[in-house]
Structure formats: structure tokens, C-alpha cells
Structure 1
């Protein structure tokens, strides 16, 4: 039977679109609500205490409003800090986003991988644990960049950013000890896959970029297997915690992802 309950995607900005896209490919008629906490953007420069308090409270309000069947925290920073608290507070499945260190280690020939994320994500013990469990024989070089988050947001709003800005971000990763032999880079912020082509274009040598989006999509499909979906795609909704000029400028990009209406929380 048809079931109109949506999947709720949550991020600080538009980064979660990199998770929404592969999910739509697997579940083309799934109703979607995308929520962006742009009033709290960016998460990567906030403290763990701020994020741990903000994210569960916001998701509680959003779940009450949209009544989803499943929540996706499509944000590495929020997931590495607040996922457990969100799961404790909600009586429905919650899927988090973690850096794709395991697949990156499996692909690396040089046994050196880069982890490119926000400052908050790359310093988390969770990342230490992933590296220890899945990349123990690799050199793991990390770099936190708030600038790349802002670049992705600007690009999605239709503002073309200069190559030099992307080159500077990559230099922060590749210029570290061990960075000269990195062959695989983990995009450990959901914003970054949206501009992976720009990073690849300015890289000083061929690099493989990986992210967790496709794996998260498969997890969503598994958790909702057997559930009813509408017979045809329905227009998606985007909810912003602050409906400002930047949010409105994102409307054309959001429409390309099937999010046809924008509203305020």
C-alpha cells in the first residue's frame, strides 16, 4: 500500500544533497523533506557542546512537524557528535553519516589516504577509531576546512568560485607530511562531494575522491525495504531554519534535486 510518510534529511546547509541524490536514484518515488539548519551554519566551527545541544532539539521539532518514517543526519559533523543522542530521543530509525575511511583504505595503492572534512569532524575520536579499525596499515592525513564548506554553498547558489580557492584547500591536505603520496581522499563532509569535480580539476596529480553517499543510500533502502511508496514521484520540500536571501538563491539548485518548495521552520 502507498505510504506518504517522507524520509527526512538533515544538514547544516546543502551538503546533504550529496546523500539525497543517490537515495533518489534507489528510491525514485520516496517522499522527501530536506531540512537545513542555516541559522546554525556552519557546524564545523562550532564546539561539540553547541552541536550536541542544538541538533537533537532541532530534529525533535522537525520530526514532530513532518512525521517522517526515517531520519537521515546527512552531516558528518552532526553525526560524529550527536547521533547517539538523536537516536535516544527519537522513536524511529536514524541513519548517520561517517567518513568513508574503510572503502578509501581498500582502494589506496600507496597506503596513504587523506581525510578532508570540517575542523570539528577531523578532530573527533570517532575518526581515530575508524582509522585504527580500517586503515591501520595506512598513513591517514587529515585537514579541516571551513572554506570548502562555504565554497560549496556558494556554488550551489550559482556563484562560481575561483580555481585558486580549491587549490588552496587541497594544498592544506597534500602539503602535510605524508601528503605527497596520498592517492585517495575521503570527502568527510557531505558538502564536499558537491564540488569534488572542482577539487579533482586543480589537483597536482590524479586523486580518487570517495564519500559515504552511496553507502548511506543503500542503508536507507535496506531499512525501508517492503514499505509502501507513492506510485509516482511527489514534489519534495526544503525547510530552512532561516529563510534568508541565500536560502532563496538556492531554489534552482534545490529544484534539480526534486525539492520544489522552500519554507521556514
Structure 2
């Protein structure tokens, strides 16, 4: 059985783990929530890179992972290139805002992007955005909105704060994008857990796009087809650098998995 590490600053990466469990039922997953240092989107690139490297080393040494999924847009933006250099023998799958799927599916070409300030301010995101605009065969307009505090509100399962922040950021985004925006990219793995609120506020004319399923399919590819063998999904191992109970509760709430979580010793 292959073992895959899945890493996020908090519980948001559970949205990616959910897709991974469906795609790779015969795989053992070790999920790490670096809750003591969340949210990454409001930390420096150096801090994010240092935590990513330290946790990757732990996952390799303690759990012998065969691949790593960086289920965090900010960690991918700031750390994945260096991580691949440091661990050239370890397949690393990152997550990025789903600009390409959004560009393909949008009818109007006017696309909103909600993400952390760290993701939107990264060189990797700038390059991703430029590639999509240059590759397009029609005019595209991406309106990008940093969402300070939203990942943290979702992390704390604070429904009133989540609603208030979604209202605020969508109002600002709609002023930028105009009434023809028909696609909204959820550029943080926390945000799918606010999809119901976002969809209600946007209305049925706006399609929400996230990255969970494409990341799961890519992970299956890098592991090889033998990794898909098996019946029912194997329960993941849950680790948190702070508040393991909160991680266990989030897994029960969003993944319908009732298992305890343990502390992360790094």
C-alpha cells in the first residue's frame, strides 16, 4: 500500500483529502494540519517555506511517504519549487487556483478569483495568470480579491464571521468584475467549505471552481495505476501541530470520518 502525505496550514486541505479518498481508496493518507502556524496566507514566504520543509522531512522520516500533496495554495506558491530541489526523489503535487478550468468554462470571459494575499502576491500566481491570458483565444478578464481572515474564520468554524467576510469580499469583487462575471475560482483549499454561502451570495449564474478533483487525479497519475487497487477507503492518519481535537471535529463535520487526531511533534 502506498502512503501519501497531505499537508495544509489547517483544516482547509481536507477538501483535497476528500477528493483523494474518493480517487485513491487503496492508499494510506497522512494528513497534517499546521494549525499552530495558520493561516499561511498572512505569513511571509520564508516562514511558509521553512514550515513546509520541516513538515515534509517529518513525513518522510516518520511515515515513509511515497508522495506529497501540498494541499495549500500558499505553500505551493512559496515552497514547491525549492521542495522539489531538496527532495528530488519525492513526487510532489501542488495546488494552484484553477484559472485554466475557469477560463475554459466561462461563457463571458469575466472570472473572479478569491485567494489569500500570499497566493495572489506570489510570483508563481503572476506567472500562472499571465500564461492563461496569453494562451486564450478570446479576451479574458480576471478580477482577483485577497480575502484576509476568511481562511481563519472557516478554520474556526465561525459561521457569522465567514458570512460577513464572504459578503464583504464578493461585494468588492463584483465592483471590479462587473455584472457579467459568471465564474468564481476558489483559490484557497479552505474556501470550498464556504461554497454554500458563496454560491448563495453569487446566485445561480456564477459557477464555482476549485482544485480538489484535478489534484486527486494528478496524484493518481504520479503514483501509478496500482495505487488505485482496493475497496473501501482506508481511514487517514490525522496530525495537527495545535488543537488535534479541532482537526478531528472538522474531519467528522466535512468528511464524515470519525477518528481521533494526534499532535504533530515538529
TM over 0.5, shorter chain: yes
What is the aligned partner in structure 2 of residue 105 from structure 1?
103
Between the aligned partners of 2:165 and 2:114, the Cα distance in structure 1 is 15
| 1:174 aligned onto 2:171 | no
CA deviations 1:7-57 (Å, max 9, x no partner) are 110000011111111111111232111001111111001111221222112
Correspondence for 1:138 among 134, 137, 140: 140
> Could you list the runs of 5+ residues in structure 1 that have no partner in the other structure?
none
Query: Is the contact made by 1:8 and 1:35 (CA closer than 8 Å) also made in structure 2?
Result: yes
| 1:39 aligned onto 2:41 | no
Between the aligned partners of 1:179 and 1:17, the Cα distance in structure 2 is 32
What is the aligned partner in structure 2 of residue 67 from structure 1?
64
> CA RMSD, aligned part only?
2.0
**How many Å apart are 1:251 and its aligned residue?**
1.9
Between the aligned partners of 1:145 and 1:215, the Cα distance in structure 2 is 23
Query: Is the contact made by 1:70 and 1:93 (CA closer than 8 Å) also made in structure 2?
Result: yes
- Which ranges of 4 or more aligned residues in structure 1 deviate by more than 4 Å? 228-232
Assess, with a 3 A threshold, how the Cα gap between structure 1 residues 259 and 7 changes in structure 2: closer, same or farther.
farther
Correspondence for 1:88 among 67, 85, 89: 85
**How many Å apart are 1:103 and its aligned residue?**
0.8
Between the aligned partners of 2:240 and 2:164, the Cα distance in structure 1 is 30
| Partner SS state of residue 181, structure 1 | coil
Query: Is the contact made by 2:41 and 2:74 (CA closer than 8 Å) also made in structure 1?
Result: yes
| Partner SS state of residue 226, structure 2 | coil
**How many Å apart are 1:257 and its aligned residue?**
5.1
Assess, with a 3 A threshold, how the Cα gap between structure 1 residues 147 and 205 changes in structure 2: closer, same or farther.
farther
**How many Å apart are 1:201 and its aligned residue?**
0.8
What is the aligned partner in structure 2 of residue 198 from structure 1?
197
**How many Å apart are 1:115 and its aligned residue?**
1.3
